[in-house]
Amino acid sequence: MKEKGLATVKVIAICLSVVAMILAGAAFYSHRTYKEPVVASEYVTQVKKLSDYFPDLKGTVNDCNIYIFEGSEPGGTVLLIGGTHPEEPGANLTAELIVENLRVKKGKVIVAIRANRSASTVTRPGDAYPQFYHIETPWGVKKFRMGDRWSNPLDSWPDPEVYVHYPSRQMLAYMDIRNFNRTWPGRKNGTITEKTNYAFMQLIEKEKVDLFIDLHEAELEYPVISTIVSHQRGVDIAAMTSMILSSTEFNIGMEYSPKELHGLSHREVGDHSRAISLLYEAPEPFLDRVRGITDERLLLTGKDPFVMKAGEFGLLYENIDENGWPIDVRVGRHASTFLTTLEMWSEFHPDLPIVIEGIPRYNDVIANGVGYYFKDPSAAPENRVFYE
Amino acid sequence: MFLNAVVTFLYYVLSAFIAFIILRNIIKTKSAQEAVLYCIMIIPFVLRVLRLK
């Protein structure tokens, strides 16, 4: 090619490269900095920051909001967290539904919507994850950040060759040093993920939390699905919750937290604090490796012919049909499981009751859609609007 | 954690250095195909240095 022709190609290629950089950079930046408005229920008592319990987190990406609801009568204290794995939207949507609608009559309820905020600022472009998803509400469309399973490498880098869990010294996969549900109970001087776990342990200690609940979703190829995983101190509550829900609303199992598998909330929170720890799993076909087109539609409808085909061959641990697993069903499951768990807690601990109202059950969420329960931030008083 | 910070810093220095080498190759190459290829290759390194991805 002649000199002039070559120079022209180079200039055009550089210009296209710069345009691609700007477009990609803008998309990554807008996702990382997008703020989700939350209209806290009028009955919220106070909204703290996680750094109020561990000042090292102040000003970091993981200094999330802590919503506290106190009843007029004393009782027990429950901490519920969503957003452990932000690629599981049923978890943070349920936590937000609770924050926007809750009224506590007895006891105290503490909620974190985005427990590991860092992981909600990154997705998996290589897996074709959407950056955002949208929920229809009576006042318009509400936009949410889709996230990943692991904290953003921009916030925690490099990963070790092998992740040695603290304090058990169990060896785990290298990237799980950024997995918020493999780093419990956390470490004061660890990575940002470990520090976030540590901050939550401080919160549990300072707020005298009795019951801890961690919301999740799972692929249908994974055996721990549609279940409550319980620390051994919580099996009576988990088993009763499972039996009642399975006979009245939907099938849900109950499993013991393995004693030798470390870093998970259902194991470490129960072992290292006074709180009983439970973890809920709902089905999310979006996470299945055999899935087809990976997009927002699959995330929200849970409909996928390839996952269905896997089910026909008996390769799944949960049923799936042409109705899929819509987000309303998954949020409804978590909402009803939470309500029934609190009812069981209050029966087993009459001296420490936790009585709440305002939260819809499974059938209500399916009938109305989860968006029905989200308030319009533009119509809400400024002092009740918070950002995640 | 101090060593992590050092490795992270070196990682960004390395990314910037590779981006610079690719840019230099874009200018020096006599092949149009290579120039286009280098222009694609440089994108992730620049985004990494700018802490966008």
Contacts of A10 in chain B (CB under 8 A): 26-27, 32, 35
User: Which segments of chain A does DSSP mark as H helices, in order?
Assistant: 3-33, 89-101, 192-206, 235-248, 265-272, 296-301, 305-312, 327-348, 362-368
* pLDDT tens figures, A332-344: 999 999 999 999 9
* A9 to B36: CB separation less than 8 angstroms, yes or no: yes
CB A123 within 8 Å of CB A31: yes
Place of tokens 């939350």: A38
| A150-168 burial code (b ≥16 CB/10 A, e <16) | bbbbbbbbebeeebebbeb
Q: Which domain holds residue A308?
A: 34-387
The pLDDT value recorded for residue A1 is: 62
Report whether pLDDT(A2) > 90: no
Q: Does A11 reside within a domain?
A: no
Among A17, A18, A32, most B C-beta atoms within 10 A, so best to mutate, is A17
Report whether pLDDT(A375) > 80: yes
- The per-residue pLDDT string of chain B (53 residues; one tens digit each, 9 = 90 and over) reads 788 889 989 999 999 999 999 999 999 999 999 999 999 999 999 999 999 98
Q: How far is B14 from chain A (nearest CA, A)?
A: 14
The pLDDT value recorded for residue B2 is: 83
Report whether pLDDT(A4) > 90: no
One-letter-per-residue 3-state SS of A310-352: HHHCCCCCCCCCCCCCCHHHHHHHHHHHHHHHHHHHHHHCCCC
Which stretches of chain A sit within 8 Å of chain B by CB? 1, 5-6, 9-10, 13-14, 16-17, 20-21, 24-25, 28-29, 32, 154, 157-158, 189-191
Arithmetic mean of pLDDT, A21-49? 97
Tell me what percent of chain A is helix, strand and coil, each rounded to the nearest 5. 40, 20, 40
Residues of chain A above pLDDT 90, percent: 98
Q: Is the ipTM of this complex over 0.85?
A: yes
Arithmetic mean of pLDDT, A85-101? 98
* pLDDT tens figures, A50-84: 999 999 999 999 999 999 999 999 999 999 999 99
Report domain extents, chain B: 2-49
* pLDDT tens figures, A250-292: 999 999 999 999 999 999 999 999 999 999 999 999 999 999 9
Contacts of B36 in chain A (CB under 8 A): 9, 13
Pick from A225, A260, A206, A230: which is nearest to A341 by CA?
A230
Q: Does A41 reside within a domain?
A: yes
State the average pLDDT for chain B. 94
The pLDDT value recorded for residue B3 is: 85
The pLDDT value recorded for residue A203 is: 98
Contacts of A21 in chain B (CB under 8 A): 43, 46-47
CA–CA distance, A143 with A165 (Å, rounded to integer): 35
Q: Does A2 reside within a domain?
A: no
CB A190 within 8 Å of CB A62: no
* A191 to B4: CB separation less than 8 angstroms, yes or no: yes
Domain count, chain A: 1
Contacts of B30 in chain A (CB under 8 A): 6
- Which residue is closest to B7 within chain A, CA to CA? A158
Which of B26, B27, B46 is closest, CB to CB, to A21? Answer: B46
Arithmetic mean of pLDDT, A135-162? 96
* pLDDT tens figures, A198-216: 999 999 999 999 999 999 9
Contacts of B31 in chain A (CB under 8 A): 1
**Which CATH number characterizes residue A374's domain?**
3.40.630
The pLDDT value recorded for residue A102 is: 98
Amino acid at A338: F
